[in-house]
A and B are shown apart, each in its own frame.
Chain A
Amino acid sequence: MQSEKGYSLSTKIIFYVLFVALVVLVSMFLVFEHIGKKTLYEVEREKADLIAKMFAPQIGINLYLGFNDKVDKAIKQIMTERDILAVYLKKNGEIIRKLKRHTTGLNGQAETFQVQAPIYEPGGEKQIAVLQLHYSSLHYREMVQKMTRLLLLFFSVATLLFIALAYQIRKRLMPLKKVAVALADYDVKGKELVLDCDSDDKEIKLIINAVEEMQENVNAYAELQENMKQILSKKVEEKTAQLWQQLYTDQLTDLPNRRALMDDLSKQSEALVAIVNIDDFTEINDLYGHRAGDIILKNFADTLRELDANNAYRISGDEFVLIKYGKFYPEEAKEFLKSVRSRIERTHFYYEENRVDIRVTIGATIEEDPMIEQADMALKEARKQRKPIMIFSSEWNLETRYRDNIYWIRQIKSALSHDRIVPYAQPLYDIEAKRIKGYEVLVRLIKEDGEVVSPFKFLPLAQKSHQYHFMTMRMIEESCAFFKDKKDLTFSINLSVEDILNSETVEYIKERIIHHGVAHRVIFELLESENIEIFPEVERFVSEMKDLGCQIAIDDFGTGYSNFSYLIKLKADYIKIDGSLIRNIHNDKNAQVIVEAIVDFAKKLGIRTVAEFVSNEMIYDRVCELGIDVAQGYYIQEPAPLEEVGSGPKSDMV
Chain B
Amino acid sequence: MRFLALVLIFLQSLWGYTYNELLIDAQSRIYPKLLMLEEGIAARHKDKPVVFTVVYAPEDEFVAERIVEKIETYYDHSLGGIPFEADMATFDEVDLELHSDAFYILKGDVEDIRKTVEYALQKKITVFVYDYKDLKEGALFALTIEQTTVIYLNRAILQKAGVLFAPSLYSIVRFVDAE
Query: Which A residues contact B (CB, under 8 angstroms)?
Result: 57-58, 60-62, 64-67, 69-70, 121-124, 126
- A120 smallest CB distance to B (angstroms): 9
Chain A CB within 8 A of B159 CB: no
- Other than the given A61-B166, A66-B30, A122-B166, 12 more pairs (CB < 8 A) read A57-B168, A57-B171, A64-B33, A65-B30, A65-B33, A65-B151, A66-B29, A67-B149, A69-B148, A69-B149, A70-B172, A123-B165
6 A-B pairs with least C-beta separation? A123-B166, A57-B168, A122-B166, A61-B168, A122-B168, A123-B37
Collect the chain A residues with CB atoms within 8 Å of residue B178's CB: none
Q: List 27 A-B contacts (CB under 8 A).
A: A57-B167, A58-B168, A58-B171, A58-B172, A61-B37, A61-B171, A62-B172, A64-B33, A65-B33, A65-B151, A65-B172, A66-B30, A67-B148, A67-B149, A67-B172, A69-B149, A70-B148, A70-B149, A122-B166, A122-B168, A123-B36, A123-B38, A123-B39, A123-B166, A124-B42, A124-B80, A126-B80
B36 (CB) vs chain A CBs: closest residue: A123
| B171 closest partner in A (C-beta) | A58
A548 to B148, CA, bound (A): 172
Q: Which of B42, B148, B169 sits near A61, CB closer than 8 Å?
A: B169
A64 surroundings in chain B (CB, below 8 A): 33
User: B37 touching A122 by the CB < 8 A rule?
Assistant: yes
> With A and B bound together, what is the CA distance between A65 and B36 in angstroms?
11
Bound together, the chains give a CA A67 to CA B166 distance in angstroms of 17
Please report whether the interface of chain A is mostly helix, strand, loop or mixed according to DSSP.
helix
Chain B 128-179 interface residues, beta-carbon cutoff 8 Å to A: 148-149, 151, 165-169, 171-172
Bound complex: CA of A65 vs CA of B141, how far in Å? 14
Smallest CB–CB gap between B95 and chain A, Å? Answer: 30
| Closest Cβ–Cβ distance, residue A4 to chain B (whole Å) | 83
**Which B residue's beta carbon lies closest to that of A59?**
B168
* Docked complex Cα distance between A126 and B39 (Å): 15
Give the residues in chain A near B29, CB-CB below 8 Å: 66
| A122 CA / B166 CA spacing, docked (Å) | 6
Q: Report B's interface with A, CB cutoff 8 A.
A: 29-30, 33-34, 36-39, 42, 80, 148-149, 151, 165-169, 171-172
In angstroms, Cα B36 to Cα A123, docked, is 8
Q: Which residue of A lies closest to B147 (CB)?
A: A69
Return the chain B residue nearest A123 by Cβ: B166
Give the one of A61, A66, A123, A124 with max B CB within 10 A.
A123
A57 and B167 CA atoms in complex are apart in Å by: 9
B168 touches A60 (CB 8 A): yes
- Bound Cα distance from A240 to B42, whole angstroms: 130
Q: Tell me, in angstroms, the Cα distance from A122 to B36 when the chains sit together.
A: 9
| Residues of chain B lying within 8 A (CB to CB) of residue A66 | 29-30
Alpha-carbon distance A562/B19, docked complex (angstroms): 197
**Closest CB in chain A relative to B33 CB, distance in Å:** 6
Bound complex: CA A60 to CA B30 (Å): 14
For residue B150, give the distance in angstroms from its CB to the closest CB of chain A: 10
Q: B172: nearest residue on chain A (CB-CB)?
A: A61
Chain A residues, Cβ within 8 Å of B148: 67, 69-70
Which residues of chain A are within 8 angstroms of B166 by Cβ–Cβ distance?
Answer: 61, 122-123
CB-CB under 8 A from B149, the residues of chain A are 67, 69-70
Q: Within the complex, what minimum Cβ distance (angstroms) separates A60 from chain B?
A: 6
Considering the complex, give the chain B residue whose CB is closest to the CB of A73: B148
Residue of B nearest to A66 (CB): B29
Chain B residue with the shortest CB-CB distance to A122: B166
CB distance from B24 to the nearest CB of A (A): 15
Q: Chain A residues near B80 (CB, 8 Å)?
A: 121, 124, 126
Q: How far is the CA of A62 from the CA of B171 in the complex (A)?
A: 10
CB distance from B29 to the nearest CB of A (A): 6
Q: Please name all residues of chain A whose beta carbon is closer than 8 Å to the beta carbon of B151 when the two chains form the complex.
A: 65
What residue of chain B has the Cβ atom nearest to residue A54's Cβ? B171
Tell me, in angstroms, the Cα distance from A69 to B172 when the chains sit together: 12
> Residue on B with the closest CB to A58?
B171
Find chain A residues with CB under 8 A from B37 CB.
61, 122-123
A65 CA to B171 CA, complexed, in Å? 13
B5 to chain A, nearest CB (A): 24
* A118, chain B: closest CB distance, angstroms: 14
On chain B, the residues within 8 Å of A121 by CB distance are 80
Neighbouring B residues of A67 by C-beta, 8 Å: 148-149, 172
CA of A131 to CA of B30, assembled, Å: 23
Cα–Cα, bound, A61→B167 (Å): 10
The interface residues of chain A lying within 8 Å CB-to-CB of B172 are 58, 61-62, 65, 67, 70
Which residues from chain A contact B169 at a C-beta distance below 8 Å?
A: 61, 122
Contacts of A65 in B (CB 8 A): 30, 33-34, 151, 172
Q: Complex Cα distance A57/B149, Å?
A: 18
Query: Within the complex, what minimum Cβ distance (angstroms) separates A128 from chain B?
Result: 11
What's the minimum C-beta distance from A601 to chain B, rounded to whole angstroms? 177
How far apart sit A62 and B173, CA to CA, in the bound complex (Å)?
11
* CB of A171, distance to nearest CB on chain B (Å): 68
The docked-state distance in angstroms from the alpha carbon of A58 to that of B80 is 18
Give complex CA distance A65, B32 in Å: 10
Chain A nearest CB: distance from B28 CB in Å? 12
Most chain A beta carbons < 10 A, residue from B37, B38, B39, B148: B37
